[in-house]
Chain A
Amino acid sequence: MEILLLKRLLGLNKVIIVRMNLLVEVKDAPGQLVAVLEPIRGLGANIVTVIHKREAKNEQGNVPVQLTLEGEKENLSNVVNKFKDLGFSILEINGTLDTEIISAILIGHLVDENLQDTIDRLNELEGVFVNEFNIQLSEDNKSAALINIELNAGKEELALGKLAEICSEKDFLMINNV
């Protein structure tokens, strides 16, 4: 996130943060997990969760590793390419999780009102994850952002309620789906 804010300060006014789920197969041998995680850091992606499923070892002696990464779209696709280059087999991208995505537009002093806090407070909710935050800064300091929130089933009311609460507190106009 610090990287993203930095980019904004450097004058790049479009910042898109995406979350990606990956299922990668690695050999069940010492050092293999590190070998998978190692390349991610240098590519501008953050690791959110790692689940090493040793109990699910297959006949070839490979085990699946479930990864959730976050970062800019471009960086995430670099990670995928790097994995392919290194010969890891990718079983699933973005999985088949039982989730839905809701969108909303926010208008207001999004940056002055602590962007990170806005995103964190949504992410704190269980089963709710800010998947994309695409901010468009404007000359007259009211910016607009498209926010995509990934939800587990049944979490829509919780997420929208929290978003509405944050918006009213920070004086943002919230435009959500009809």
Chain B
Amino acid sequence: MECKIILMGFGSVGQGIANVIAMKKDIIKDNYDAELKLVAVADSSSSAICQEGLDEQLLIDTKKNKGKLSNYPEYGSDISGIDVLDAVEYDCLIECTPTNKETGEPAYSLTMKAFEARKDVVTSNKGHLALRFKDVIDAAEKNNVQFRYEATVGGAMPIINCAKDTLSSCKIESITGILNGTTNYILSRMTAEGSSYEDILKESQELGIAETDPTADVEGEDAACKTVILANSLLGVDATYTDVEVIGISNITSEAIELAKDAGYLIKLIGEVTPTTLKVSPRLVKKGSAYDVSGTLNMATIKTDLADEITVVGKGAGSIETASAMITDLISILKLKK
């Protein structure tokens, strides 16, 4: 069986997908009898399209060295955006365009179009899910297609599939966790070094851990999107972004961290999901507790009715790490088709 893939978005995560496919396609063929082929790959203004399949390494080299995918030898194209979905035959859309929590675009339109064409979709994009989770899920059901989004929460850290599949006998009562790696990194370093928020933010930006515009991370917006996705997918709460109470970390002072430390606590940006509360805020956690994870790591404690508490920890971001969750989602879809 062939699995023809359109990959929308060719930044950090998109290139991770190309890398992972190159690394794992033989094993996937052996184990699941599926031959993965990238038939179209798009960035913001161009694409590379070939029904016979594109070369993963050449895609990465072209993007790195020549900037635009239209420079891909022979198959480079000026077709971009939603039109790419009409330019080639495919089975699955892997969508990793930038998250936009104001409009949910381009993810929403791309996903809807794929569903209507009866194609499965795997995404890492939080925007459309934080705004219109139910619309997206309903459309997938209506069109009888698969939709997977493990990478949207906690990157490589397994949480959505873990709760849905591995803990399927349990009712999920609440989820509490560190859902943003950038803020965890900043707070961890403030704790270790006693430095100010401003100084550590600046250094994090220089290291590429925080973005030039750090708002989405430091003001808790990214974590808030994730609480919405968890509430909808695991607790069955019909919530949207505006339902989240959000407080970020930009007002945390080194004095506050010091006081917490003296009393045996750490300050962490915590996302909380219960049937009645959606909240992202700085909180005190006990040193040595499950919440005591530092650096860019993410963690979440899932409270269930039967299994009590289950805690997962993992890398919340990274090119290959995030791609790993998406390819796992793809394999789950392949298993259903077998």
The answer to whether B285 and A178 have CB atoms under 8 Å apart is: yes
Chain A residues 133-169 with CB under 8 Å of chain B are: 134, 136-138, 142-146, 148
B2 to chain A, nearest CB (A): 48
Find the A residue at minimum CB distance from B248: A173
The answer to whether A105 and B256 have CB atoms under 8 Å apart is: yes
Chain B residue numbers with a CB within 8 Å of A138 are: 253, 255
| Interface assignment of B78: CB less than 8 Å from any CB of chain A | no
Contact of B283 among A136, A148, A178 (CB under 8 A): A178
Find the A residue at minimum CB distance from B262: A146
CA separation between A144 and B190, bound complex, in Å? Answer: 15
Count A interface residues, CB 8 Å: 19
Chain B residues 266-296 with CB under 8 Å of chain A are: 267-268, 270, 272, 281-285, 291
CA separation between A82 and B284, bound complex, in Å? Answer: 37
Chain A residue numbers with a CB within 8 Å of B272 are: 178
| Interface assignment of A90: CB less than 8 Å from any CB of chain B | no
| Interface assignment of A104: CB less than 8 Å from any CB of chain B | yes
Given contacts A103-B284, A105-B267, A105-B284, A178 and B291 within 8 Å (CB-CB): yes
The answer to whether A177 and B259 have CB atoms under 8 Å apart is: no
Find the A residue at minimum CB distance from B261: A146
Given contacts A142-B253, A178-B270, A134 and B284 within 8 Å (CB-CB): no
The answer to whether A144 and B284 have CB atoms under 8 Å apart is: no
The answer to whether B259 and A134 have CB atoms under 8 Å apart is: yes
Contact of A176 among B262, B283, B291 (CB under 8 A): B283
CA separation between A100 and B135, bound complex, in Å? Answer: 46
The answer to whether B253 and A178 have CB atoms under 8 Å apart is: no
| Interface assignment of B247: CB less than 8 Å from any CB of chain A | yes
With A173-B251, A176-B284 given, name 19 new contacts (CB 8 A).
Answer: A105-B265, A105-B284, A142-B251, A142-B253, A144-B253, A144-B255, A144-B256, A146-B259, A146-B260, A146-B262, A173-B247, A175-B281, A175-B282, A175-B283, A175-B284, A176-B283, A177-B265, A178-B272, A178-B284
Q: What 3 pairs between A and B have smallest CB-CB spacing?
A: A144-B256, A144-B255, A146-B259
